[in-house]
Amino acid sequence: MTIGETGTALGTGFANTNRIIALQGAPAANYAAGLARAYNGGGYTDWYLPSKDELYKLYLNQVAIGGSWLTYYWSSSEYGAGAYAWVQNFGSGGQSIGYELLTFGVRAVRSF
């Protein structure tokens, strides 16, 4: 789904998530941004799908953060005008482009 321009920089994931949800609509549990927003870990409700650069920051700090990690995670940063978005590889650190109908992990974050 083409949603228009989304940010890739640190601090843009929250706005990206809001834009995706506004355009995608219900049911929110059927797409990455909706799943991230629906998460309520720690009793907080301000979770969002991180941008491309926010996901890379998570990759760099995954040991300090702890827990288990999947290999690939969706970002909220769309790539171009088609149905593609940036994906973060937590094994190699590389970033690539994924077709939005593929299945990858969702890692919800709060502002950092």
Residue 94: what pLDDT? Answer: 96
DSSP codes, 21-83: HHHH-S-GGGSHHHHHHH--GGG----BPPPHHHHHHHHHTHHHH-S---SEEEEEEE-TTSS
Residue 49: what pLDDT? Answer: 96
Query: Domain coordinates of the chain in residue numbers?
Result: 13-99
Q: What is the pLDDT along the chain (112 residues), one digit of tens a residue?
A: 556 668 999 999 999 999 999 988 877 778 999 999 999 999 999 999 999 999 999 999 999 998 889 999 999 999 987 789 999 999 999 999 999 889 999 999 998 5
* Whole-number Å distance between alpha carbons of 103 and 14: 21
First to last CA, the chain: 28
Residue 81: what pLDDT? Answer: 72
Residue 3: what pLDDT? Answer: 61
Residue 4: what pLDDT? Answer: 64
Residue 25: what pLDDT? Answer: 80
Measured from the Cβ of residue 10, the count of other Cβ atoms closer than 10 Å reads 14
For the segment 66-80, what is each residue's pLDDT rounded down to a tens digit? 888 999 999 999 998
